[in-house]
Chain A
Amino acid sequence: MSFIARLALALTLIAPLWAASLHAQPTFSPNKGGTAPAPAPETGSPGGGGVFRPSGTEVTPPPAPPPTTTTTAPAAAPGLDWGNSQVDVVYAEPKDPQFLPIRERLMRRQVLEQLRLFLSPLRLPRKLLVQLDQCNAERRPYQPGGPVTICYEYIAKIEQIAPRNQPAGGLPRETMIVGAFVQAVLHEVAVATFDILDIPVWGRETDAADKLAGFIMVQFGKDVALKIMIGAAWYFDASERTWNESDFASEQSPEAQRFFNYLCIAFGSDPASFKFLIDQNLLPIRRAQRCTGEFYALRAAFLRTLMPHVDQQLLKRVQSATWLMLDEPK
């Protein structure tokens, strides 16, 4: 049985939620499009993985959504500012018209505005520009002092790799699109954050950024973690290519390693919820045995280096919002 078939089977067995349709666009969303305020994420996870989990039950409902328009959404839409954010966002206009629909879609969903909200607890000493842009490459690596760029080419690649025909019992393509997109954005923001906050980074920077992104991705409850961690891992699995000698010179890690790293972070954060990864032989037991320890080290690194730069009040607000629509109707 292929990886994804085993995964889908496992998920339908363990998480009936997954049988429901998952039609989220690749977006962060602090609110559920005009429906009642989202319930707060469950407090505490069985594995005790979340440092973000608020200890109280206080819920701050997210602000009312601004009117959705199909025209240009300015960076700081009214009602989409919780203050403190040093993040500016831009949807740069691509030269190649083939990327216009992607830009249009993400603007309509206010993806970057919501990222800006999501990042508002992070106290940065300077402005950080996060932009979507045409790069004529899949990635435009962050340069110290520069902006964070997500390339339209990368988003197009994710959409191209995500299977159009959902096999019976399989996962919808949105799972991959959302997971891979969230992963890519948080990865690039992580690299910039290391630089701006002068964080000591032991280990390869790209792996460190993957791990920090993964750590953030498992902080918002089991359902969100299941969706985006599996989506990101699935993308790495699907885009895997054969690595030959000189390929290993890349500062990026092979997709297969990133795949296992994401499964390992997920399992380490919450062994009970992600036990199916072992049962289904997706994560080899030899690696799985180390994942709790790896996650513990990751959390310790986060608490020591980044937590001092996080506004706790705004963090609670971010945590009590629902960021990914798991069951939004079509």
Chain B
Amino acid sequence: MRCLKIAAMAAVTAAGMVAQPADSVAQSRPQELAANTRVIIDYIDPRMQRSEATLDRLRKRQVLEDLSLFLSPLRLPRVLRVRTKSCGAVNAFYVPGEWAINLCYEYYENLEAIAPQGTSPQGYTRDEVVVGGFIDAIFHELGHALFDILNIPVFGREEDAADQLSAFLMLQFGKDVARTTIRGAAFTYLASKNPRTRTEFADEHGAPAQRFFNYICLAYGGEPDAFREYVDRGVLPKARAEQCPREYALVRRAFAKTIYPHIDVELMKKVQSVQWLRPTDGRK
């Protein structure tokens, strides 16, 4: 669904629908932006042979280059490092001592492993899971990085705060991007096991099911039309759904007060007009 729409939009743009006002047509060339010079990217050679293909794919897709362009509006007081590498575990993590986001090849490979071949019984597509899941990992760790680098007060659970930033970013690029990325991110939490014993609740992360509902709730609060089906199908209970506009408003307020002051607004508008996702994303 997402692919068809995006493919259609790309075709329209490529065909040069010049009659459209410039700002209503998504541009397809992030090259018009300049990389953020305070973001240093690095594709580190994998230790495992099987990750060579992953590296190759990420490098060809220019995932980190795109991220640096995406972050161009951000005025960072420190240099942020973002690297892909072998970790020996399915993980993605921010290292405060290095101001560095680490994205593990294993994390991407695991997304490919858990993604449905075509469409899952609940209707999630392979592309949503691989693309949305990986973008979520990047944005979530970006959240930890920004909270640290920009010295942002975080009252709630920081893991949830990072999820909120991720979901909020996903919701700033129109309905199609929102659906692909939010649904993909949400699926990864559907696929995880929930805590049962008391000790399992001691984790600093929320339970996967809580995180699933947090994403869907923010999405419904921010883009009600694109996510109403979750309420209609009874996946998102009414009692929670009623709170979602307020939850979204709280996140927007937090973003406005703590991150927006560090953003170049003109550049941000450019970033929002770029068509970041491609129809082939998530495919081998």
Could you tell me which A residues sit within 8 Å of B by CB distance?
194, 198-205, 207-208, 211-212, 240, 243, 245-246, 248-251, 253-254, 256-257, 259-260, 283-284, 286-287, 290, 294, 297-298, 300-302, 304-305
Given contacts A198-B253, A202-B152, contact A294 B204 (CB under 8 A): yes
Q: Are B201 and A202 in contact (CB under 8 A)?
A: no
**Total A-B residue contacts, Cβ distance less than 8 Å:** 113
Q: Are A286 and B164 in contact (CB under 8 A)?
A: no
Counting CB contacts under 8 A, is B158 at the interface? yes
Interface of A is mostly: helix
- Give the docked Cα–Cα distance between A256 and B147 (Å): 27
Given contacts A203-B164, A211-B155, contact A246 B198 (CB under 8 A): no
Interface set, chain B 182-222, CB cutoff 8 A to A: 194-195, 198-199, 201-204, 206-207, 209-210, 212-214, 217
Interface of B is mostly: helix
Q: Are A297 and B202 in contact (CB under 8 A)?
A: no
- Chain B residues closer than 8 Å to A254, beta-carbon distance: 201, 207
**Whole-angstrom distance from the CB of B216 to the nearest CB of chain A?**
9
Q: Are A205 and B204 in contact (CB under 8 A)?
A: no
Counting CB contacts under 8 A, is B254 at the interface? yes
Q: Are A207 and B240 in contact (CB under 8 A)?
A: no
Q: Which of A205, A253, A283 contacts B250 (CB 8 A)?
A: A205
Q: Are B160 and A207 in contact (CB under 8 A)?
A: yes
- Chain B residues closer than 8 Å to A194, beta-carbon distance: 155
Q: Which of B151, B201, B247, B254 contacts A256 (CB 8 A)?
A: B201
- Chain B residues closer than 8 Å to A284, beta-carbon distance: 199, 202
**Whole-angstrom distance from the CB of A55 to the nearest CB of chain B?**
23
Q: Which of A198, A204, A248, A290 contacts B204 (CB 8 A)?
A: A290
Jot down 10 A-B pairs with beta carbons below 8 A, ordered by A. Answer: A194-B155, A198-B257, A202-B258, A203-B157, A248-B212, A251-B217, A253-B206, A257-B206, A284-B199, A294-B204
Counting CB contacts under 8 A, is B88 at the interface? no
Counting CB contacts under 8 A, is B156 at the interface? yes
Q: Are A203 and B213 in contact (CB under 8 A)?
A: no
Counting CB contacts under 8 A, is B161 at the interface? yes
Counting CB contacts under 8 A, is B174 at the interface? no
- Chain A residues closer than 8 Å to B214, beta-carbon distance: 204
Q: Which residue of A lies closest to B165 (CB)?
A: A202
- Give the docked Cα–Cα distance between A250 and B237 (Å): 9
Q: Are A203 and B161 in contact (CB under 8 A)?
A: yes
Q: Are A200 and B194 in contact (CB under 8 A)?
A: no
Q: Are A201 and B254 in contact (CB under 8 A)?
A: yes
Q: Are B198 and A297 in contact (CB under 8 A)?
A: no
Counting CB contacts under 8 A, is B236 at the interface? yes
Interface size on B, residues (CB 8 A): 41
Given contacts A202-B254, A248-B194, A257-B201, contact A297 B156 (CB under 8 A): no
Q: Are A200 and B253 in contact (CB under 8 A)?
A: yes
- Give the docked Cα–Cα distance between A287 and B160 (Å): 16
Mask of B224-261 contacts with A, CB within 8 angstroms, 1/0: 00000000000011011001000100110110011000
Q: Are B201 and A203 in contact (CB under 8 A)?
A: no
**Whole-angstrom distance from the CB of A265 to the nearest CB of chain B?**
12
- Chain A residues closer than 8 Å to B157, beta-carbon distance: 203-204, 207
**Whole-angstrom distance from the CB of B125 to the nearest CB of chain A?**
23
Q: Are B154 and A203 in contact (CB under 8 A)?
A: yes
- Chain B residues closer than 8 Å to A301, beta-carbon distance: 153-155
Q: Are A212 and B202 in contact (CB under 8 A)?
A: no
**Whole-angstrom distance from the CB of A208 to the nearest CB of chain B?**
4
Q: Which residue of B lies closest to A237 (CB)?
A: B198
- Give the docked Cα–Cα distance between A248 and B189 (Å): 12
Q: A198-B253, A202-B258 are in contact. List 16 more A-B contacts (CB 8 A).
A: A199-B155, A200-B258, A201-B250, A202-B156, A202-B158, A202-B161, A203-B154, A203-B161, A203-B164, A204-B156, A204-B214, A207-B160, A245-B194, A249-B236, A287-B203, A300-B153
Q: Which of B204, B210, B212 contacts A287 (CB 8 A)?
A: B204
A-B pairs with the 4 shortest C-beta distances? A203-B156, A248-B209, A301-B153, A256-B201
- Give the docked Cα–Cα distance between A202 and B158 (Å): 8
- Chain B residues closer than 8 Å to A302, beta-carbon distance: 153
- Chain A residues closer than 8 Å to B195, beta-carbon distance: 256
Q: Are A212 and B204 in contact (CB under 8 A)?
A: no
**Whole-angstrom distance from the CB of A248 to the nearest CB of chain B?**
3
- Chain A residues closer than 8 Å to B206, beta-carbon distance: 204, 253, 257
**Whole-angstrom distance from the CB of A261 to the nearest CB of chain B?**
8
- Give the docked Cα–Cα distance between A205 and B161 (Å): 10
Q: Are B203 and A248 in contact (CB under 8 A)?
A: no
